[in-house]
Amino acid sequence: MNAGKTDAIIIGAGWAGAILAKELTEAGLSVTVLERGDDRATAVEGDYPGSIDELRGAIRHRLFQNLSQTTVTIRNTIGQVAVPYRRLAAFLPGEGVGGAGLHWSGVHFRVAPDDLALRSNVIARYGRNFIPEGMNLQDYDVTYEELEPFFDKAEKVFGTSGEPHTIKGKIAGKGNTFAPDRSDAFPLPAMKDVYSASLFKTAAANVGYHPYSLPAANASAPYTNPYGAQMGPCNFCGYCSGYDCYMYSKASPNVNILPALRQDPKFTLITKAHVLKVNLDSDRKKATGVTYLDLRTNRQVSLDADLVIISAFQFHNVHLMLLSGIGRPYDPIANTGTVGRNFVYQTITTSRAWLPSTHYTNLFVGAGGAGVAIDDFNSMNFDHGPLGFVGGSPVWVNQAGAKPIAAAIGGPGGKAPTWGEGYKDAMVETYRHSLTIDAHGSNMAYRDVYLDLDPTYTDAYAQPLLRMTFTWKDNDIRMNQYVVSRIEPIMKEMGATRYSLAKLETGELFDTRRYQTTHLGGGAVMGADPKTSAVNRYLQSWDVPNVFVIGASAFPQGMGYNPTGMVAALAYWSAYHIRTIYLKNPGPMVQA
Amino acid sequence: MKRPSSTRRRFLAGLLGSTSFWLYSGHDVWAGSLATETHPYTPRYFTPEEWRFLNAACERIFPTDAHGPGARSLGAPEFIDRQMDTPYGHGALWYMSGPFLTAPANLGYQLSLTPRDIYRQGIAGADAYTRQHHDGRGFADLDAQAQTALLKDLEHGEMSLGAVPAHLLFEQLRQNTLEGVFSDPLYGGNKGLAGWTLLGFPGARADFMDWVNQEGAPYPFGPVSISGETA
Ligand SMILES: Cc1cc2nc3c(=O)[nH]c(=O)nc-3n(C[C@H](O)[C@H](O)[C@H](O)COP(=O)(O)OP(=O)(O)OC[C@H]3O[C@@H](n4cnc5c(N)ncnc54)[C@H](O)[C@@H]3O)c2cc1C
Ligand code: SF4
């Protein structure tokens, strides 16, 4: 069935899709957003007290992707047979209006400017030989100065709480001393530090590091954003991560952007619309629209458009490009093609400190984006010369609200039993008197770590699953081990009665059974060279110029920071150039 | 602007008198797993033999001790039985298409068994194994020490239960038991909110504006459930 034509189609109603929809309707285009999941609204999914239900929420995946319909396959190395990711664990993609932006936590970073030109910076400082064999280190081809107005805009839309370091070159607060200069203050003051985070702040400063309160897309006070969307103050209920915020305090596409869009007659949202592929003309240089499956009727529908935005989340973006034949699939053996190249993730390990039994950390109190961090070992903020690795990790106490089922299944930590005799004792001590410190770090790109289509497994719609070939590499393991060793002095200074430091072990393989983060990246990276990037600096496909691919898929490396602030800034950056350049003269914005 | 207030008010009103209760009714898909029956509970999925095994195993995983009640009186077996009738119990949350290949453990679960299958086949296998090694007595008839030893064998996979790897049955039991102990009583476990009381988790209170940083003092209030029950 052909459903006619619209100016622009947007695939996916998460953060990236909502931002592009808002920008393109503002530019006067008719926009249709196709979302494969259900419509979602905080009035329903965030309805209190039914939303405060750990079993139904994070444990039984109320808001997460339904793997029974489609998933990915995973293997560690090229020689292995990939097998399906059958149960959600290592990462938790979203589904339904809002995408993972409805159940994210809200840590809202900009970018460490050095990370945008990491290859150039590493070579300038340490020489070409410092880059290990097989590491595909690349620059983004965009600078922090170019992106700054869009970081600023995203923070104002998200209602971000934070403390600046400098504004227009002048010291403006006690924010992160490593953070780049800002054109304006955060829209809201920083969130309060919970007890464990304040202990960390004092201890980290005492051992000579530079702690700061995390920038959070959790509202520290009532706020109205530029779209007229209203947020209430966060009460530290601890139900950010995995849930819809019942207080309308955590930024989400649903609360911060969609209310304005839903009133716009140029905006159409079609849910239960699973996009099967982007349709291309015969020479594959132009997209004509998309074909989707209407999951309500089980009928295939084609919809035409002049412009197609792929914003379906990092690996779904790559999957759709491969299924549609946009660009050349990456071949790690021949080292040709770009789609699927530079697939990256994030390293994270969680260490624990126990305090004397007179100190209660009240682990259930918290907010997803709040906490205290140090950047002393992130990005290029320290001397990598004698250490011999590329990358780094922020280190933080991010007490997001530990719920009892997850805590109980995770166990008391250390060497304590995970069930039976002795378990309760240890669990009570851990839940009442401990706190955790994460090393949340970068992950570099490698020639043999990539995405392609699986030769065997298919989804419920008979399309091949995406295949991930991924494992931890020596550079990133050593980075993690080094940064974790720098946590030890903080543990001691905090007065921990005991602590356990968690690090990646040498030779450790990626384990799909343990939650890492949902900060996957790359696979359709941005860059200056069409041989090593799938999209140009405006996130426009090099091969099919009326297709833009928005998301963390554009990151050439996995960074130490959480990705969504960067995803949102890139979305606004791309939209700005579509509006000011592309729409006036559709075609490639950068000559290959 | 803020929509939660009406339900929040209703909820807090429900807390005022300890006898005033209202039943939360938004859990349509979950109806099958909600606890509405009164005791004694009659299992819907597990056979009487399996039920005895399940009760004994849950209690060893989370035993009654000086800290308070164990999994059995907290209703964990009832919780698990109810879960067997949910999409989860039927494996409907998992990708269940073949081929089902043998793969390294770190690549995750690769069997075609649903939680219902894991229990049905696994319990039969574990009980048969026990009978062989304990003069014909089933798991539920052993003393606590022998039961614990047997669970340890399961945990470390030192026996085979036919199609169900022993450690898989054990992990299924451990996870579901802890879910039952620590989930909202809506689902049949955590009776009297005793699981939450043990940890000091305040349940559905979900408002800690005044308790962001009290310099390490313990949170002063006990738990409350979604239906308004207090401990
Ligand atoms: C538990 C959790 C905590 C997180 N915390 C943080 C944090 O603190 N800070 C941070 O920066 N980031 C965090 N993230 C990551 C953050 O959620 C993502 O970076 C962000 O949501 C990405 O936005 P997106 O628009 O690219 O994708 P999404 O928000 O995931 O939206 C993509 C949408 O596309 C839809 N879609 C996919 N395929 C198709 C198709 N074929 N047809 C139609 N629709 C399709 C999906 O259903 C989905 O709704 C967290 C993630 C999780 C899961
Ligand atoms: S902690 Fe704050 S932002 Fe997070 S869900 Fe609770 S009220 Fe919302």
pLDDT value for B159: 80
| CB-based contact B201 A355, cutoff 8 Å | no
pLDDT band at B36 (very low <50, low <70, confident <90, very high): low
Confidence check: pLDDT of B19 > 70: no
Confidence check: pLDDT of B9 > 60: no
Rounded to two decimals, the ipTM of the complex is 0.96
pLDDT value for B162: 86
pLDDT value for A26: 98
Query: Alpha-carbon distance A133 to A474, whole Å?
Result: 11
Query: Alpha-carbon distance A588 to A592, whole Å?
Result: 8
Nearest to A579 by CA among A6, A14, A19: A19
Measured in Å, residue A250 CA sits from the centre of ligand 2 at: 6
* Catalytic residue from among A103, A165, A384, A519: A519
Q: Residue type at B119?
A: Y
CA atoms within 13 A on the CB side of A414: 17
Please tell me if residue A554 touches chain B, with a CB cutoff of 8 Å. Answer: no
| CB-based contact A235 B206, cutoff 8 Å | yes
Q: Closest CB to B182: pick one of A239, A360, A405.
A: A405
pLDDT value for A156: 98
Query: Alpha-carbon distance A201 to A106, whole Å?
Result: 20
Helix %, strand %, coil % of chain B (to 5): 50, 5, 45
| CB-based contact B86 A52, cutoff 8 Å | no
What DSSP designation does A214 have? Answer: P
Residues from chain A contacting residue B181 (CB–CB below 8 Å): 408
Domain ranges of chain A: 2-582
Ligand lying closest to the C-alpha of residue A191: 2
Q: Which two tokens stand for residue B24?
A: 């939360």
| Smallest CA separation from ligand 1 atom 45, residue | A12
Measured in Å, residue A157 CA sits from the centre of ligand 2 at: 17
A359 noted as active-site residue: no
Confidence check: pLDDT of B7 > 70: no
Q: Which two tokens stand for residue A579?
A: 């509006």
Interval A499-539: pLDDT, tens: 999 999 999 999 999 999 999 999 999 999 999 999 999 99
In angstroms, what CA-CA distances link A110 with A121, A162, A164? Answer: 19, 12, 12
Angle at CA of residue B202, ends B200 and B206, nearest 5°: 145
β partners of residue A301: A292
User: Cis omega before residue A49 (within 30°)?
Assistant: yes
- Using 70 as the pLDDT threshold, list the residues of chain A that sit under it: none
Q: What percent of chain B has pLDDT over 90?
A: 79
Q: For ligand 2, is residue A245 a contact (CB within 6 Å)?
A: yes
Q: Closest CB to A49: pick one of B11, B96, B213.
A: B11
Query: Alpha-carbon distance B203 to A55, whole Å?
Result: 12
Number of Cβ within a 10 Å radius of residue A228: 9
Domain ranges of chain B: 39-201
Strand, helix or coil for residue A420: coil
Interval B179-192: pLDDT, tens: 999 999 999 999 99
pLDDT value for B40: 85
Residue A49: φ, ψ to 5°: -90, 0
Q: For ligand 1, is residue A241 a contact (CB within 6 Å)?
A: yes
Residue A302: φ, ψ to 5°: -110, 140
pTM recorded for the entire structure: 0.96
pLDDT value for B6: 46
Interval B132-166: pLDDT, tens: 999 999 999 999 999 999 999 999 987 879 899 99
pLDDT value for B4: 40
For range B44-50, the mean pLDDT: 98
Residues from chain B contacting residue A54 (CB–CB below 8 Å): 182-184
Q: Where are the alpha helices (DSSP H) in A58-117?
A: 113-116
CATH of A2-582, one of 3.50.50.60, 2.10.10.90, 3.40.1230.10, 3.40.50.720: 3.50.50.60
Interval B84-134: pLDDT, tens: 999 999 999 999 999 999 999 999 999 999 999 999 999 999 999 999 999
pLDDT band at B1 (very low <50, low <70, confident <90, very high): very low
β partners of residue A347: A441
Q: For ligand 2, is residue A330 a contact (CB within 6 Å)?
A: no
Query: Alpha-carbon distance B152 to B170, whole Å?
Result: 9
Best A70, A81, A83 residue to mutate vs chain B (most B CBs within 10 Å):
A83
pLDDT value for B22: 30
| CB-based contact A360 B2, cutoff 8 Å | no
Query: Alpha-carbon distance B157 to A359, whole Å?
Result: 39
Distance of CA A212 to the CA centre of its chain: 21
8 A C-beta contact, residue A350 and residue A437: yes
